[in-house]
Amino acid sequence: MAERSQTAPEAGNDMGNDDAIGGNVSKYMVLPNGYSGQPKKGHLIFDACFESGNLGRVDQVSEFEYDLFIRPDTCNPRFRVWFNFTVENVKESQRVIFNIVNFSKTKSLYRDGMAPMVKSTSRPKWQRLPPKNVYYYRCPDHRKNYVMSFAFCFDREEDIYQFAYCYPYTYTRFQHYLDSLQKRNMDYFFREQLGQSVQQRQLDLLTITSPDNLREGADQKVVFITGRVHPGETPSSFVCQGIIDFLISQHPIARVLREHLVFKIAPMLNPDGVYLGNYRCSLMGFDLNRHWLDPSPWAHPTLHGVKQLIVQMYNDPKTSLEFYIDIHAHSTMMNGFMYGNIFEDEERFQRQAIFPKLLCQNAEDFSYSSTSFNRDAVKAGTGRRFLGGLLDHTSYCYTLEVSFYSYTIGGTTAAVPYTEEAYMKLGRNVARTFLDYYRLNPMVEKMAIPMPKLRPDAEPETSGEMRQAGDSRILHTESAVLRI
């Protein structure tokens, strides 16, 4: 690494001190110190003024090296983890070192081989950088903060390159996904707006079940699933999409689950934070997953809306709220795993362990040994803890965590990096585990595969979308055997 100059940089190259990062860089061209000619190829242009973007400042250390500063979450300087930015105006074969210098966390999967994501305009599929090009270390030049440095060689001059902490999943992508599902007019899929965020973005609520379960007076067994309360935890959205894709498919397991259960899914609890490129907080700087005890309709409107609905269902004698699962991503652990609650009643505590044990048998990336049950004071305002205290002994509340980086397969220590597809596969396996939990496997064997019913006002489906619903990648349907 190059020595950092102790003299002040030239005007135009420094964007203020570390404490003064207020917004994202916008088409910010970095010129060498003392350069006064016309900009040319190789004078890099950085940009993060796009949806879910995050880069607050760029300092050029030398001809090849740049210090990059994450923009803190809006209204909360404590959280600096998520980054997502573009670089353009590159020269072919230009080699650089980027140092991300102001992470708010010290522990990181970068110590275990994780690497940033990259794509470019001519190669639009996200891929991880080679781990050998990534270094994570405590740096004396930055208040002994931990720094993540990575080396990169730009190879195509006309390309715009994009770098991110993990696979992005934006609010707009989510809206387009739900729009495409709505257009299919499935009679077992319902979308409604449960409320709006502070910046007037939609809080979507999905209901997936057989229409018979929604008729007046019908008893309902409800599974309630939420995601993206922490906006930078993008794997949450891929897992949630995997759950949704499976439940709406024509797979025999999905059809049995729709007949017996009502799935309520709020996939994006913090749409403002997602849009703004925050890591943990809402627009106003709140960690929403610490405000379940008393959410404000003004400051935490999405949380307030979801909590109201859950309490309303809890008070409905016809509704049995059986599961609440909140989906997150973890920045220091491998695999998928769960957090559950601790109860004085030993039998209830043991019953709570059943679902994660079944999931462990269905999903090779899910670790029961990493699953834990706690009642830490610091977690008191979370959805899992609050609802675990509110709901009765027939309900189970979990946080489902999945690694930002990788999983290990039983009997090996080799890390298998997660892909978007692997995250969605975990979601599919979460969904199918309900079949084992409710012992509905005999029902699957009786199922033929009819054409899906359309709503009476729907046009016949002619596109390929419906054909894609039967997911041939789903694991076998045999029952997992539970051993406690």
Query: Would you please indicate which residues are annotated as catalytic (active-site) residues?
Result: 401
CA dist 178 and 172 (Å) reads: 10
Name the burial class of residue 379, with classes exposed (0-12), middle (13-18) and buried (19+) by CB atoms within 10 angstroms of its CB: middle
Tokens of 448: 């033929």
The H-assigned helical ranges of 328-451 are 346-352, 354-362, 383-390, 420-437, 441-445
Phi-psi domain of 52 (left: phi exceeds 0; alpha: psi -120 through 50; beta: other)? left
Tokens of 141: 């030049």
Residue 88 Cα distances to 66, 130, 401, angstroms: 14, 21, 35
* Host H or E run for residue 271: helix 271-276
Q: By the 8 A CB rule, do 147 and 100 touch?
A: yes
Tokens of 189: 């899929």
Dihedral (CA of 417, 423, 424, 430) sign: positive
Q: Tell me the one-letter amino acid at 82.
A: W
Tokens of 142: 């930055």
CA dist 73 and 115 (Å) reads: 22
In this structure, the number of other CB atoms found within 10 A of the CB of residue 457 comes to 6
CA dist 435 and 306 (Å) reads: 26
